Amino acid sequence: MGELERKIKAHGKSLGFDIVGITSAEPFLRDERAAVERIRQGLMDGLPWYTEERVHRATHPEVLLEGAASVISLAISYLSGGPPASLAGVRGKIARYARGDDYHQVLKAKLREFSARLPEIAGHDVSTRVFVDDGPMNDRAAAERAGVGWFGKNTNILTPTHGSWVLLGQIVTDLELEPDAPLAKTCGDCVRCIDACPTGAIVAPFVIDNTRCISFLTIELRGSIPRELRPLVGDWIFGCDICQDVCPVNRKALPTSEPAFEQRHDFAAPELIPLLDLDDEGFRERFRGSAVKRAKRVGLQRNVCVALGNIGDRSSIPALAKALLAHEPLVRSHAAWALGRLGGPESEAALRTANAQEADADVLQEIELALADCLEAVRSG
C-alpha cells in the first residue's frame, strides 16, 4: 500500500468509517450477469426501477464517472443496543438499520466530506461521485472486490470485524489507486440464514426471491401483502434482521461508534396500537429523519395490522376494529385479516359491522375470508 492509499484510508477512519477498501474501476461483469439473470427469472419483480439498463450502469463505473479509475469502498457499522428485556404494550420490530437517523443522509454527508478533502490529500484536482444504496452503483460488488467483506449466502456483505451490520458507501474517482485484494473468506458449509428465513426468500445460496423477502413486503411493496405470506411476516413492521441474527459471523461483531445510529425513541420495539392512530402529519413527525418514512404511512399501518394478527394479543381487537372502519382500503383489508386471525365473538362482531357498510370489493373479500376464519376457529376449537 502506498502513501496516498494510507492517507485516504486514514481520512475515512477519521470520519467514522470502520472499514475502507480500494478497488479498480473495471466493470463488475460477474455481478452484472447475476443481476440480469435475477431480473429475467422474475426474482426482482415489484421493483420496477431495477432494470437491466440500471444494472449495466451500476456495474460499469466508467459510465457513472468519466475517467473513472478507482472505487473507494467504505463501510460503517450500525449495530446498536437492543430494546429493554421487558416493555409494556403490544410491540413489533423494526430492522436495526432503521432504528436511528436515516442512514442515507448520514452516509452521504460523510462521503461528501470525504470527497471534498481528496484533492488536498492527492495534491491535485480530483473528480469524484458518491453513492449510497439509493444510487445506481452496485455497492456490494465493489465492497467485495475492495476487500471490505465477502458475500454471505443471504447476499449481505460480511466483514471480519463488524459482521454484516454495516452500511456501504462508494466513491468513484479518477484517482489511480493501488487496489486491495478481495478477502479469501467464505461462509463455508453454513446455511443458517437459508434455514432461518421464514418466507423461504433465500431460494439458493446468494439468490434472493425479492417477492418473498420480508424487507420487500414491509417496505417496497405498495399493495397487499399476499395472504399466504402474512403469517410468516411475524411481528416485523419495517424490514427484517432474521438472516443476520442467526449468522455466526455476527456473534462477535463490534458495535457502532456512530451516535446517529443509536436507536431513537422506542424504534427497537415500537408499541403498535398507537401507530394505527397516526395521520399523515403525525406519521411525518413520528418518523422525521428516519428511514421508516420509506414505507409511507399507509404501508406501515398495513404492516402493523399484520403484526397484530400474528402476535395474537386480543387487546388489539378494538384498535383493529376501528382501523377496519376508518382507514384506507389497504389498511382496512389487512385489519380484517388480523381480526380473522384473532377470532372470537368480538372480532366477528367487528367484521360483520364493517361488512354491512363496506363498498370496496377487495376489502369485502378480505372481510368474507376473515369471517370464514372466525367460523373455522369455532368449529375446530
Residues that are catalytic: 133
Question: SS3 letters for 111-176?
Answer: HHHHHHHHHHHHCCCCCEEEECCCCCCCHHHHHHHCCCCEECCCCCEEECCCECCEEEEEEEECCC
Distance CA 52, CA 57 (A): 9
Among residues 121, 143, 122, the alpha carbon closest in space to that of 132 is found at 143
270: left (phi over 0), alpha (psi -120 to 50) or beta: beta
276-289 residues labelled b (16+ CB within 10 A) or e (exposed): bebeeeebeebbee
DSSP string covering 74-116: EEEE-------S--SS-B-EE-GGGSSS-HHHHHHHHHHHHHH
Residue type present at position 130: V
The three cell numbers of residue 144 are: 467485495
DSSP string covering 169-208: EEEEES---PPPPPP----TT--HHHHH-TT--EEETTEE
Backbone angles phi, psi at 158, to 5 degrees: -105, 125
Q: Which residue has the cell 376449537?
A: 381
* Under 8 Å between Cβ of 165 and 78: yes
Indicate the SS3 state at residue 26: coil
The count of other CB atoms within 10 Å of the CB of residue 220 is: 16
Among residues 81, 74, 137, 131, the alpha carbon closest in space to that of 104 is found at 131
Backbone angles phi, psi at 295, to 5 degrees: -75, -15
Distance CA 323, CA 317 (A): 10
The three cell numbers of residue 213 are: 423477502
